[in-house]
Amino acid sequence: MLTPPIVVCSLGSPSLAVLKASVEAYSPSTELLVSYPQRSTFGQCYNAFMESVFSKEHEEIFIANDDIVLHPDTMRLLMEDVAFCKSVDGDKLGLVAVYADYVRPAQDIRLYPKMQLRRVPVVAPILAWISKKAFEDAPFPPLNWYSDDIQCFDLEHKGYRHYVSRAYVHHAGSQTVGRNNQSLHDEAMPWIRENRPNFLVARGMS
């Protein structure tokens, strides 16, 4: 089965070589595209690279962190679930992401060991399908922390629906944006208060 390319912005994680090896071993028909941007925010890095990839006639891609490892059936299950969700939601399909360890609770394999396909309000795109249309309707905000939450929030307000697939990846954990959660939270708040106050209200953070 041919799959869309996997798009990764890397800050030089030592796990990147393992991701590359797992793609070659388990999904050799999948193109892995890696950008090594100068340090800016997660949202800015990925927006620029995704826009470039979409401009080359790709209508859908996979976003990924550089610190994940595919399993033998990751891409097969993910593509099957994307196809099913397309049949249900059509062009209002948002992100379809995977289960993992070291991830938000809705995707945590320890909480959902059966890994069933489920609709959820927000996903972490450590490996996630997205269409060109959805990306153009709601790119990432220029943030590190909360970039995925706000993208999903914006898409839901435009009628899109997000899912967690039956697929799984191992996730080394938060090497993409850093590990100081409080600092990342504080850094994002001024932009969110100015640009997405309704997000804070919806999350009970206002």
Across residues 9-18, what is the average pLDDT?
86
Q: Summarize the confidence of residues 182-186 as an average pLDDT.
A: 78
| Per-residue confidence (pLDDT) for residue 136, from 0 to 100 | 97
Domain 6-202, CATH homologous superfamily name and number: Spore Coat Polysaccharide Biosynthesis Protein SpsA; Chain A (3.90.550.10)
Residue 78 CA, chain-centre distance (Å), reads 13
Torsion over CA: 9, 43, 49, 38 (sign): negative
Give domain limits for the chain: 6-202
pLDDT at 182: 79
What CA–CA distance (Å, rounded) separates 102 from 9? 19
At 87-132, the pLDDT tens digits run: 999 999 999 999 999 889 999 999 999 999 999 999 999 999 999 9
174: left (phi over 0), alpha (psi -120 to 50) or beta: left
Q: What is the pLDDT of residue 143?
A: 92
pLDDT band at 69 (very low <50, low <70, confident <90, very high): very high
Above 90 in pLDDT, residue 204?
no
Average pLDDT, whole number, for the chain?
91
pLDDT at residue 183 greater than cutoff 90: no
pTM, rounded to two decimals: 0.93
Cβ partners under 8 Å of residue 203, min gap 6? 149
For residue 186, the model assigns a pLDDT of 80
Query: Is the model's pLDDT at 72 over the cut of 60?
Result: yes
